[in-house]
Amino acid sequence: MSKMNKRVYGVLGISSVMANWNADFSGFPKTTTKGQFFGSDKALKFPMKKMWEEAGEKVLNIKSFTVSKPDKNGAVFLVPRTLKERYEYIFGVEDMKKDKDIKVILKNLFSAIDVKNFGSTFAEADANISITGAVQIGQGFNLYNGSETQEQNILSPFKDPKAAEKNKEGKDAKNSTLGTKIVSDEAHYFYPFVINPKVYDNFEQLGVTEGYTEEDYQKFKEAALKGTTSFATNSKVGCENEFGLFIETEPTLYLPNLDKYVTFIKGAEKNTIQVNVKELLHDVKDRVLSAEIHYNPHTTEIASDIEGVKYFDIFTGKEIEKQ
């Protein structure tokens, strides 16, 4: 495995049609104070981590459950694992408190694919570790101005036990409980990201990791382009990966977040995603190693001014020949 010797700048696009990509505590799609929909980086990372986990990779920072010890009445419950329990579970450690070698803990942490990409804060037992991830993802803002929230009432097949109590007339309540599903009719979120492999240099010197490798990058890239589409829950059905921009550069080239150079235009038959970075890259184009755009050609047109960019079908991975 060779250490990656380049930076990567890009944008990841998520479409949400009659779905709720990232809800706030009230159940409505997250919005800024000005009313613009946005999604947190956690919303994007979660389906990526689920995809890795399903592929058999070690993933540390994800919820998993265990059965509690019986209480005084003999009842047991399904409870989330603590961070310590999750660490012991995926690394096969009986009790991490007995492990006094911090290097062993660090090696284990770096063998988890989510830690290798996104970093981690690990404060358990005598270990107090903070790892800044090679991959940093910003907040994803909805660039479609026509988005609206839809609130749907759902009839439950079951009787509400509270409503089932005798009402004032002494009659049993017969109505089923009502649930609510809240979605946005259509939204298109665009997340900026940057990959800096040099953040692990100090850990390399300690001998606990080989650094951020090309293999790590390829695993990130696959999950970044397919994770959301592969993740189907009730609220996430309707959310898909629709766009991915990857610009690989020399390791010492520093660029701003690229989402501000992306525009979404709603169309009658196909939507258009514009990428206007030619002016930004004009004086440094000799330091750009490659550029790729991944998108759904069945729903989207791309208008890009990037010289030499290659286009790919986001679902099949096949290169698209543009005229």
* Closest to 116 (Cα-Cα) out of 45, 44, 24: 45
pLDDT in tens, 57-84: 999 999 999 888 888 888 888 899 999 9
Segment 114-141 mean pLDDT: 93
Check residue 202 and report its DSSP letter. Answer: H
Q: Which residue has the higher pLDDT, 222 or 168?
A: 222
Mean pLDDT, the chain, rounded, equals 90
| Burial class of residue 72 in the structure, from the number of CB atoms within 10 Å of its CB (0-12 exposed, 13-18 middle, 19+ buried) | exposed
- The number of helices, as runs of H, and strands, as runs of E, in the chain is 7, 17
pLDDT in tens, 189-220: 999 999 999 999 999 999 999 999 999 999 99
Q: Which two tokens stand for residue 265?
A: 């235009």
pLDDT in tens, 3-29: 999 999 999 999 999 999 999 888 899
